[in-house]
């Protein structure tokens, strides 16, 4: 049986109505804040949230332009600094001072940037297949599909399209798993066709940033040095290299790492290896 959650909303500093899932848990532990990737939404974290809920309160916001959150009027606001301001507004509204951050890809970048501002608020962190250096191969792959705005007649067509785009990252997925992935990432559009569940405008600032030199994010990662941190890496990742993983372990000093076999970017965090590592991290902070 799936853990229950409530559908909730908050207002961003610039007036957008944004959505989050709130899974119930005890009030005597910091909540778990799950931050999704560039083109994803709260449904990505459903398996993990359902596993943790009850023992932990789990809050899963959808960034502006994704899922049930309102689309931005200005696509230039589709950037991590703006998303962080939005999330900070949610945390302030809920009166949350300390939390566990679990960030996939873009959500992991947000976690590092939030740590750079005030790492004392983050009692533990999980960085899912992301680090302070990003492999250009993976960035080019993302740039090749983000914002294309394709639509599909059936769920099977949608699943096959996802398999064509991401099959190298998940070589062992069955068609049933691709169908599940399609239902996580797509919705029925107004024209009766299945469409990706995000504003295609998120591609504009991403592609502009991709054309510029990568910023130095090592200071942001180093801000987590005193924070219990787990790095999850997909064995087949084209975004987080083994070299960057090794350097992160040297810089952090107490970084936990787990590699998910036969998976690329990014692990879904429902794999046995991921779940065991996350639960071990959480067990050590209470």
The CA distance from 35 to 90, in Å, is 13
- pTM over 0.85? The answer is yes
What is the model's pLDDT at position 170?
A: 98
Residue 1, pLDDT > 50, answer no
What is the model's pLDDT at position 210?
A: 74
pLDDT confidence band for 77 (50 / 70 / 90): very high
Average pLDDT over residues 24-42: 97
The CA distance from 103 to 60, in Å, is 10
Q: Residues 83-112: pLDDT tens digits?
A: 999 999 999 999 999 999 999 999 999 999
Assigned domain for 249 exists? yes
Q: Give the list of residues 6+ apart from residue 249 with CB closer than 8 angstroms, or none.
A: 231, 255, 257
Assigned domain for 193 exists? no
- Pairing label, strands 5-11, 17-23: antiparallel
Assigned domain for 59 exists? yes
Residue environment code for 32-59, b if the CB has 16+ CB neighbours within 10 A, otherwise e: bbbbbbbbbbbbbbbbbbbbbbeebbbb
Contact predicate 124/281, CB 8 Å: yes
Total tally of structural domains belonging to the chain? 1
Contact predicate 128/153, CB 8 Å: no
Assigned domain for 211 exists? yes
What is the model's pLDDT at position 149?
A: 87
Assigned domain for 243 exists? yes
Supply the CATH number for residue 210's domain. Answer: 3.40.50.1820
Domain with 69 in it: 5-146+201-283
Q: Residues 154-175: pLDDT tens digits?
A: 999 999 999 999 999 999 999 9
Assigned domain for 9 exists? yes
The CA distance from 113 to 75, in Å, is 21
What is the model's pLDDT at position 214?
A: 86
pLDDT confidence band for 3 (50 / 70 / 90): low
The CA distance from 286 to 281, in Å, is 10
Cis status, amide bond into 266, omega within 30 of 0: yes
Assigned domain for 108 exists? yes
Assigned domain for 205 exists? yes
């Amino acid at each position: 049986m799936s853990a229950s959650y409530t559908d909730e909303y908050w207002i961003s500093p610039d007036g957008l109505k944004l959505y989050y899932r709130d899974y119930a848990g005890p009030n005597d532990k910091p909540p778990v804040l799950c931050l999704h990737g560039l083109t994803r939404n709260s449904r990505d974290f459903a398996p993990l949230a359902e596993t943790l809920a009850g023992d932990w309160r789990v809050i899963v916001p959808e960034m502006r332009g994704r899922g049930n959150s309102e689309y931005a009027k200005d696509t230039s606001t589709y950037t991590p600094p703006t998303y962080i301001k939005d999330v900070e507004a949610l945390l302030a509204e809920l009166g949350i001072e300390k939390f566990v951050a679990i960030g996939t890809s873009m959500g992991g970048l947000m976690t590092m940037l939030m740590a750079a501002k005030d790492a004392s608020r983050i009692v533990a962190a999980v960085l899912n297949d992301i680090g302070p250096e990003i492999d250009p191969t993976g960035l080019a792959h993302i740039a090749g599909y983000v914002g294309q705005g394709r639509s599909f007649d059936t769920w099977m067509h949608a699943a096959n399209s996802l398999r064509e785009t991401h099959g190298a990252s998940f070589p062992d997925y069955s068609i049933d798993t691709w169908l599940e992935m399609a239902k996580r990432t797509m919705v029925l559009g107004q024209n009766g066709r299945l469409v990706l569940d995000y504003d295609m405008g998120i591609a504009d600032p991403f592609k502009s940033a991709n054309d510029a030199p990568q910023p130095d994010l090592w200071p942001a990662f180093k801000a987590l040095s005193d924070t219990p941190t787990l790095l999850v890496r997909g064995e087949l990742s084209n975004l987080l290299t083994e070299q960057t993983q090794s350097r992160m372990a040297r810089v952090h000093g107490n970084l936990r790492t787990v590699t998910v076999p036969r998976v690329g970017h990014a692990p879904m965090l429902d794999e046995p290896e991921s779940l065991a590592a996350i639960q071990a991290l959480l067990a050590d902070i209470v």
